[in-house]
Amino acid sequence: EAAPMDERYKDFFSIGAAVEPYQLTGKDAEVLKRHYNSIVAENVMKPINIQPEEGKFNFEEADKIVKFAKENGMELRFHNLVWHSQVPDWFFLDEAGNPMVNETDPKQQAKNKKLVLKRLETHIKTIVKRYKNDVSSWDVVNEVIDDSPQNEKGLRESPWYKITGTEFIEVAFKTANRYAGKDAKLYINDYNTEVEPKRTHLYNLVKELVDKGVPIDGVGHQSHIQIGWPSLQDIETSINMFADLGLDNQITELDVSLYGWPPRPAYPTYDAIPASEFERQAVRYNALFELYERLGDKISNVTFWGIADNHTWLNDRAEQYNDGVGKDAPFVFDEDYNVKPSYWAIMD
Ligand code: XIL
């Protein structure tokens, strides 16, 4: 039987996987327990699932993941407290039910801002109090930097930003810190953290937070990457930049797509993927984990955005460009949970 991945990297970082509650039994659970010592919810802890209606918290699905982590002695990452996506509309409606982002009256704008920040505090406080003894790292804010920036600082013009400016970021970290206590590790999480101009925009924001004394412990690099992109050099530079600020780094949503962007036509079925693609991917995985290991004192967790190739959000993207069919294969376990060349590449 294949040796456990988490054991291989225990001196450097924990190894995680994103999961849906249905994956906590059967073959998925078996592989999880053997190879991973950390988990994160792929969807069920996002605002839209935890507080779909104001004041109506739903912890049922989230609790299943918490329980599994506890029973198996695994670390738990919480994803996420604040995001512009998968967030219910009610957060951004005023008392009259109007979208706050359309407000032009300065007095009402000020009221709206107060209300949104209050709702945010309630959301975070309720969750953090419930899970503070179970969670080791929190994604406090997710994707607040824009890829094609509309403003000088590169901040994403989400409803959060339009209504509160950057205040929601500070309030989120401070609230999480207040209720989670000093042992909680708080992260800002984003994708394409390796590439300019996003890398610098993220750096500038994080530095500002650190300088202001906002309680932030690290940067989560989602790492939805490709076989040939971004370069190892850019990945290393990014990790070092944040480590030099005294912060931790985590690789939070790793998948290595077979496809470039925009995607070339995807292989229509998993079996149609030639072995040479898996070899190419293994070379990438080898270099990647060699780098992570070398930077091991600056990285505390490496989490894959799934367990095995039978379940990956990247298939939605592959399908989109190939008439509704198309398979990606981003992980180190194949569709049937067998180890791929990429597994051997990171275990050597
Ligand atoms: C994705 C999930 O994997 C999908 O199931 C869901 O439909 C959309 O969200 N960045 C993030 C993750 O921070 O929360 C996203 O997860 C992937 C991109």
Q: What is the pLDDT of residues 287-327, one digit of tens each?
A: 999 999 999 999 999 999 999 999 999 998 888 878 888 89
> Is the torsion defined by CA of 216, 217, 222, 225 positive or negative?
positive
Provide the pLDDT for residue 182.
82
Distance CA 207, CA 204 (A): 5
Question: For 24-43, what is the mean pLDDT?
Answer: 98
Pick the closest to residue 302 from 46, 29, 81, 38 (CA basis): 38
Mutation pick for ligand 1 pocket among 305, 307, 320 (CB with most ligand atoms within 8 Å): 305
Distance 46 CA to ligand 1 centre (A): 10
Q: Name the residue with the closest Cα to ligand 1, atom 3.
A: 313
Question: Is the per-residue pLDDT at 40 higher than 90?
Answer: yes
Residue 53's H or E segment, with its range, is none
Answer whether 142 contacts ligand 1 (Cβ < 6 A): yes
C-beta separation of 254 from 215 below 8 A: no
pLDDT at 181 over 90: no
**313 Cβ inside 6 Å of ligand 1:** yes
Establish whether residue 315 lines the binding site of ligand 1, counting it when its CB lies within 6 angstroms of any ligand atom: no
d(CA 263, CA 242): 31
Q: Within 10 A of 204 (CB to CB), how many other CB atoms are there?
A: 14
Q: Which atom of ligand 1 approaches the CA of 18 most closely?
A: 3
Segment 260-279 mean pLDDT = 91
> Can you tell me the distance from the alpha carbon of 247 to that of 228, in angstroms, rounded to the nearest whole number?
27
- pTM metric for this prediction: 0.98
Cα–chain-centroid distance for residue 161?
20
Q: Which helix (H) or strand (E) holds 62?
A: helix 60-71
Band (264; pLDDT cuts 50, 70, 90): confident
- Among 164, 144, 140, 162, smallest CA distance to 82 is for 140
Q: Which of 239, 206, 207 is nearest to 221 (CA)?
A: 239
For the chain, the distance separating the N- and C-terminal CA atoms, rounded to the nearest angstrom, is 15
Return d(Cα 162, Cα 172) in angstroms, integer: 16
Cα 226 to Cα 55: distance, rounded to the nearest angstrom = 40
49 lines ligand 1 (CB under 6 A): no
Mutate to test the pocket of ligand 1, among 193, 313, 317 (most ligand atoms within 8 A of CB): 313
Which residues are marked as active site? Answer: 253
Least confident of 19-28, 118-127, 177-186, 198-207: 177-186
Mean pLDDT over each residue of the chain, to the nearest integer:
97
Give percent helix, percent strand, percent coil of the chain, each to the nearest 5: 45, 15, 40
- Ligand 1 in contact with 42 (CB < 6 A)? yes
